[in-house]
Amino acid sequence: MRLQDKVALITGASSGIGRESALLFAREGAKIVAVDVDEDRGAEVVEEIGKDGGEAIFVRADVSKSSEVEAMIQRAEDRFGGLQVLFNNAGIMHSDDGDAVATDESVWDLTMNVNLKGVFFGCKYGIPALRRAGGGAIINTASFVAHLGAATPQLAYTASKGGVLALTRELAVIHAREKIRVNALCPGPLRTELLMKFLDTEEKKQRRLVHIPMGRFGEAREMAQAALYLASDESSFVTGTEFLVDGGITSAYVTPE
């Protein structure tokens, strides 16, 4: 199994990419710390892992709060004796996120606090745990919109994910010789609850689909497979990357020289 004897903490684990990653990582041998603010759905993920023969615990934490992130890392070490994989996946996409004129300051602040500050806190408290474990892998969920911008305006989200890319690159360089790898997973448009709530009309959906060469939305399980590669020792020489898993949408926008 690709994650045998590893402990993996995944934020945003109750749904979407986080849920599928928790289930997949557990099947690949990892002990899972499933983190979310949704206690009921988080408990369901842990129960499903247990039924499948895996081992997992749920920790409720708001990643925008420093003390709760510090506590979730501590809980992982206390329960399982260490931490080798940190998947900073939790994020929001606010329905009132628009262009610079229309987006309220409160929407901007909330989005930045969860999507960017949450990743910072995860790394702030997670990196010392990875050091104690002798190294490990950090995966930060960014997005293809950090490269391209979004056809349907969502400025705070796009800016927050751009910040995640910059943070990932710098941390990868800083910690490379400590056997700590830091990579960004950049999903394309997905058929997840998060995006479908934002693309709440057929017109908005088609505005995204028309640009995807594969002609469909991606699935959360496909992102989990990509995250598994970044978490596993198969990617042992991979750090500082922006792993685009986007159905070709980014390449469709690249202008040939």
Q: In which band, very low, low, confident or very high, does the pLDDT at 67 lie, cut at 50, 70 and 90?
A: very high
Q: Work out the average pLDDT over 141-155.
A: 89
Determine the 3-state secondary structure of 162 from DSSP. helix
Whole-angstrom Cα distance, residue 31 to residue 84?
10
256 pLDDT higher than 90: no
Query: Where exactly are the structural domains of the chain?
Result: 7-244
3-state DSSP call for residue 85?
strand
Q: Does the annotation mark 229 as catalytic?
A: no
Q: What does the pLDDT read at residue 183?
A: 98
pLDDT given at position 200: 79
Q: What fold is seen in the domain 7-244?
A: Rossmann fold (3.40.50)
Q: Which of 125, 157, 229, 253 is catalytic?
A: 157
* Strand-pair partners of 218: 190
Query: pLDDT of 8-64, one tens digit each?
Result: 999 999 999 999 999 999 999 999 999 999 999 999 999 999 999 999 999 999 999
Of 42-51, 127-136, 208-217, where does mean pLDDT reach its minimum? 208-217
Q: What is the pLDDT of residues 166-185, one digit of tens each?
A: 999 999 999 999 999 999 99
Classify the phi-psi angles of 150: left when phi > 0, otherwise alpha if psi is within -120 to 50, otherwise beta. Answer: beta
Report the pLDDT averaged over residues 64-81. 98
CB 31 within 8 Å of CB 55: yes
pLDDT recorded at residue 253:
74
Q: Please report which residue ranges of the chain form alpha helices under DSSP H.
A: 16-27, 39-51, 66-80, 105-112, 118-132, 145-148, 155-175, 193-198, 202-209, 220-231, 249-253
DSSP string, 211-246: T-TT-S-B-HHHHHHHHHHHHSGGGTT--S-EEEES
Whole-prediction pTM? 0.94
Q: Tell me, what's the pLDDT at 84?
A: 98
3-state secondary structure of 94: coil
